[in-house]
Amino acid sequence: MFKDSDFKTSPDVPGPTKEEIRCLVICKSNVKKDDIVVEIGCGTGGLTLEFAKRSKQVYSTDKNPEAVKITRQNLLEQELLDNVNLYEEDALKLLESAPKFDILMVGGSGGDLYPIIEKASTKLNPGGRIIVTAILMETKTQSISKLKELGFIVEIIEVNISKGRIIDRGTMMFSQNPIAIIYTI
Amino acid sequence: MFKDSDFKTSPDVPGPTKEEIRCLVICKSNVKKDDIVVEIGCGTGGLTLEFAKRSKQVYSTDKNPEAVKITRQNLLEQELLDNVNLYEEDALKLLESAPKFDILMVGGSGGDLYPIIEKASTKLNPGGRIIVTAILMETKTQSISKLKELGFIVEIIEVNISKGRIIDRGTMMFSQNPIAIIYTI
Amino acid sequence: MFKDSDFKTSPDVPGPTKEEIRCLVICKSNVKKDDIVVEIGCGTGGLTLEFAKRSKQVYSTDKNPEAVKITRQNLLEQELLDNVNLYEEDALKLLESAPKFDILMVGGSGGDLYPIIEKASTKLNPGGRIIVTAILMETKTQSISKLKELGFIVEIIEVNISKGRIIDRGTMMFSQNPIAIIYTI
Amino acid sequence: MFKDSDFKTSPDVPGPTKEEIRCLVICKSNVKKDDIVVEIGCGTGGLTLEFAKRSKQVYSTDKNPEAVKITRQNLLEQELLDNVNLYEEDALKLLESAPKFDILMVGGSGGDLYPIIEKASTKLNPGGRIIVTAILMETKTQSISKLKELGFIVEIIEVNISKGRIIDRGTMMFSQNPIAIIYTI
């Protein structure tokens, strides 16, 4: 895994997804060397880089030009740009134009969660998986209900991690905000 | 319960203890109208005020003059100063000079946790209780081991609370840092 | 607070609501001595007893006859039955027949969450509050959206508590399942 | 990652370490194909199998013969036995006899945490790492203090994961017990 501090960040772009969450997403995604990954909402590029390192090709988009820019910088710095096609366009357009894929990674849906999942479900290769990381409560319930409706077997974990700061007086724990990972199996 | 926003704060003083934690401490303390409470480490006065509202008298100290000052202001504002004797002295000195008491509340021990608990155990009225709030991992294990050693029945809960921010797009949860409450029964 | 072990339980009835959650619900409810409380879904009676002890009158119902039975037993045992009118009827019927009230406590809605909240909102005294405890993710988002729609100011906390078992080798923490408390202010 | 259900279990042996924790341990361990791993306390073999799949050789021991037996069965079933030397002996003896190694994984220390870490620190290859999973509060503070004393840079995360059960009425979350991962970097 990359360290959180490996990433350049921008004040206008959320992320990067914390190391521990990236680790769990990668485990749950079961990504393999010849997988095609489509990512909606790259943010700072945290998951983009992790998938790029472990798959054949990543197609990633974000509506926020600043997000695309910072993700490109992070990919460049880690020499992973060759593996990634970066777009600054509508998620549904990318899902239309992209080849069939093995993994859909939704890091942010810009209010289009339902059509994104519906469209993606028609372009998944056999054995393909859909993963959503959710910080909004509503994204959790909507992902589950739409994926169930489409016939997927869905699981969800909610992750609360706190990290120690080891000081002279002892060890203080600092919480990361809770995040849910919804994934099909 | 007071709201977190009811308290004046100082950049040099930790606290106030979050509303939900104050609520749980008060429940676990089983404080009653004619109880005497001794508090070590008043910080911003969060628990000082809650105990003052529900007991006969609170004796409270903090090594940090700024903490005593801000606690005094908060007590004044809520008209609870009559119920509280505030000190800016060593915890052990206060435990020596205070009358016998029903509740020891340790919010911060300044490195003297063992002698504080030992001394307090000799001045507890029958049925008295000791409560420690701990953000340092070491405070948790030390409180438990010392209280067990002195023959108390000890319990501990670790509390992770996240609070929603309800925005247009949905509900985002923000974590408070974990805190443990160690208490005798 | 009552201890969890103070309650008789039934294998067919969920609950009692854990002590720490009862404590937080009572704090958030801001219940006062002359409040009228209506409770939907009494379960084992955990919250019924806590409200009975602190209010003027509780009107409580549960669709499950076994729940009403065990709640009655627990009320009897703690000598709180005088304060409680127990029903085994539809929530909406109770909300229709009950007098105006100060607190609506929803512990279980049997699928009628929206009409329960809507009906209750027409019978709340000025300054009245609505509280929902939710273990289903969908109950959280639905409570928030309906309460917002009706113009309430809503807050939500998600509570993760683990409790220590202090054994010879050390202190093991055991998690309670997460529960959310949604409340109006 | 293996699924939790991939493992045979024994009523007399704790584990397997939950999938999400195995995932985080593997990430934090930074295990590589030619690493030598020594594991103290294999339990059901959860982490033994994960390390066996990703390293050159694992040396693993457990004082409990039943643990060694069930770990062997799980290794056999996943065809990973060739990669693992299994022992039923004292941790310190194994640390004495094992070759120099890259990763020490402590899943259970049987009360010998300090000497285990001390001994291991003398046999770590350059760049080697020590990882402790802790469910006892005391194990957390002891690991940190001993590793700091020996000059390691130590980090700790505390992990609270809840997993959804998606039923007709909605999604219920069930908590796993909290577990800490202490690791050197």
The pLDDT of residue A168 is 86
Q: Considering only the C-alpha atoms of chain C, give the largest distance between any 2 of them, rounded to a whole number of Å.
A: 56
Find, among C17, C4, C8, C6, the residue nearest to C70 by Cα.
C8
Judged against a pLDDT cut of 90, whether residue B168 lies above it is answered with no
Kind and range of the H or E run holding C120:
helix C113-121
Q: Which residues of D touch C177 (CB under 8 A)?
A: 162, 172-175
Kindly report the pTM of this predicted structure: 0.97
CA torsion, ordered A26, A97, A14, A64, to nearest 10 deg: 170
Judged against a pLDDT cut of 90, whether residue D168 lies above it is answered with no
Q: Does D126 touch chain C (CB under 8 A)?
A: no
Residue C158: strand, helix, or coil: strand
Q: What angle (nearest 5°) sits at the alpha carbon of residue C173, between those of residues B28 and D143?
A: 120
Determine the average pLDDT of the residues in B143-151: 98
| CA atoms within 13 A of residue C81's CA, in its CB half-sphere | 12
pLDDT in tens, C19-52: 999 999 999 999 999 999 999 999 999 999 999 9
Question: Per residue of chain C (185 residues), what is the pLDDT tens digit?
Answer: 999 999 999 999 999 999 999 999 999 999 999 999 999 999 999 999 999 999 999 999 999 999 999 999 999 999 999 999 999 999 999 999 999 999 999 999 999 999 999 999 999 999 999 999 999 999 999 999 999 999 999 999 999 999 999 988 899 999 999 999 999 99
Identify which of B169, B175, B178 has the shortest CB distance to residue A177: B175
* CA atoms of A69 and C165, how far apart (whole Å): 51
The pLDDT of residue C121 is 98
Q: Does C164 touch chain D (CB under 8 A)?
A: yes
Quick one: angle between helices A46-54 and A65-77, nearest 10?
A: 40
DSSP class of C83: G
pLDDT in tens, A105-118: 999 999 999 999 99
Confidence of residue B150 (pLDDT cuts 50, 70, 90): very high
Q: Identify the closest residue of chain C to A180 by CA–CA distance.
A: C137
pLDDT in tens, D33-43: 999 999 999 99
Hey, what amino acid is at C149? Answer: E
Low-confidence ranges of chain A (pLDDT < 70): none
Residue found under tokens 């529960």: C179
Hey, what amino acid is at B135? Answer: I
Q: Do A157 and D156 touch (CB under 8 A)?
A: no
* CA atoms of B10 and C153, how far apart (whole Å): 29
Q: Does D160 touch chain A (CB under 8 A)?
A: yes
Contact C170, D139 (CB under 8 A): yes
Residue A50: strand, helix, or coil: helix
Kind and range of the H or E run holding D146:
helix D137-149
Q: Do A141 and D173 touch (CB under 8 A)?
A: no
Residues found in chain B: 185
What is the Cα B73 distance to its own chain's centre? 17
